[in-house]
Amino acid sequence: MKLGAMWGITLLAAAVFLWDWPRWSRMPPKQRAAFAAMTALGWGLGVWLAFDPKLPGPTQLIDSIFAALGKTLE
């Protein structure tokens, strides 16, 4: 089941990558690198969440980072 999800995420990331490929020739190199990095980051996060769905979300991360600051300001 998890390998199927991984392959599905991989196929979707490849489809997004190939869909935007014709536009890449007009992009500056920095923008191409940023798009490739964001696509790879999204693919990695998707695969990671497929294998470990109980990962905390970004809200819990921000809460844990700023909890000490909130206590200090009170």
Q: How far apart are the C-alpha atoms of 67 and 30, rounded to whole Å?
A: 36
Residue with tokens 């190939």: 18
Pick from 7, 1, 3: nearest CA to 43: 7
Domain ranges of the chain: 2-73
pLDDT of 53 reads: 83
DSSP 27: S
Per-residue pLDDT of the chain (74 residues; tens, 9 = 90+): 788 888 998 999 899 888 887 887 788 889 888 888 988 888 888 888 888 888 887 788 788 888 878 778 77
The pLDDT of residue 32 is 85
